Amino acid sequence: MGIFMRRFAFHTLDVFTAKPLSGNPLAVIHGADELDTEEMQAIARETNLSETVFVLAPHNPLHTARIRIFTPTREVPFAGHPTIGVAVLLAEQKYGRNEKHEAIIVLEEHIGAIRCGVQIHPNGATGAEFDTPKLSAETGKAPPAERLARALGLVPSDVGFENHKPIRLSSGLEFLFVPVRDRDALHRAKPVIPVWMENIGMPAFIYTKLPEGQEFNFRARMFSPDMSIIEDPATGSAVAALAGALTRFEGLHDGWHERSIEQGVEMGRPSRLQLEFEIVAGRLTGTRIGGQAVVVSEGFLTI
């Protein structure tokens, strides 16, 4: 007697880019309602991407889908590039790519329902944006610059620029934000794993400010050896939380602000993340993340 095998349709996308083979790869597994948590985690280990998304029927029939997001080692309540990637994919599946179209995709995540606006462009990559379900908030005290420098293979003078200092923030997923003085320091940064695990032990977003007049306002890298992600090409949840650092350190006026963040350059997978955030009476009151995504492959997973 043969063994019963189950088949699940899947897609892979590159997210926060308009070009295949750049940006942040994402695996999407469809019809995942019959999979249990252990099976999802095993599939995420098998894909070995920074995140794998499982699409399920929504709890609310007015919503588009429910999704669960896994890294190779654990489930996370929210992440930016899975949200953008799944919104783009489901909109293209529903409306096609032959005509310009604007759509609303509502995704149920552990953190809550997220409403995504999608713009389909027949002659270019589809883009999406969403308001983050939680605002960036400080979550604890950052380690001293000396310890951070050792964990990143840098010297203490590399850490910090202008008013920016290390800070721990979360908008659904916690990161340690480490500003560095210039692109050279950013390029030299590399996790020293034993020191990292002892002194940091959490995802860290390393960023620097670029000179005026360039295409991007900031360049960044994200390391998370504790989650089996040595480096991530594009990290939407970190960019969402970055709004808290910019509000605190940049001395910005009230109103909406836009910033472009370049990530993944050192990995050979350049990514572009768009951040919009609102300040009222000196406080962060709204955050929006945007980016493009392209489908790279599709097929069936048999388990």
pLDDT tens-place string over residues 49-105: 999 999 999 999 999 999 999 999 999 999 999 999 999 999 999 999 999 999 999
Residue 215's pLDDT is: 95
pLDDT digits (tens, 9 = 90+) for 242-294: 999 999 999 999 999 999 999 999 999 999 999 999 999 999 999 999 999 99
Please give the mean pLDDT across all residues of the chain.
96
Residue 290's pLDDT is: 98
* Cα 159 to Cα 157: distance, rounded to the nearest angstrom: 5
Residue 228's pLDDT is: 81
Distances (CA, A) of 181 to 146, 175, 199: 14, 19, 21
Q: Is the confidence at residue 2, as pLDDT, over 60?
A: no
Residue 227's pLDDT is: 83
Q: Is the confidence at residue 1, as pLDDT, over 60?
A: no
Task: Select the more confidently predicted residue: 59 or 200.
Answer: 59
Exposed / middle / buried, residue 194 (Cβ in 10 Å: 0-12, 13-18, 19+): exposed
Exposed / middle / buried, residue 256 (Cβ in 10 Å: 0-12, 13-18, 19+): exposed
Residue 226's pLDDT is: 84
Q: Is the confidence at residue 168, as pLDDT, over 80?
A: yes
**If you average pLDDT over residues 23-43, what whole number do you get?**
98
Strands 65-70 and 101-109: parallel
> Which domains can be identified in the chain, with CATH numbers?
7-131+292-302 (3.10.310.10), 137-291 (3.10.310.10)
Label residue 233 by pLDDT band (50, 70, 90): very high
pTM of the model: 0.94
**If you average pLDDT over residues 24-45, what whole number do you get?**
98
Label residue 35 by pLDDT band (50, 70, 90): very high
Tell me which residues are annotated as active site. Answer: 51
CA dihedral for 145, 146, 148, 153, sign (positive or negative): positive
CB 199 within 8 A of CB 143: yes
* Cα 268 to Cα 22: distance, rounded to the nearest angstrom: 7
**If you average pLDDT over residues 213-235, what whole number do you get?**
93
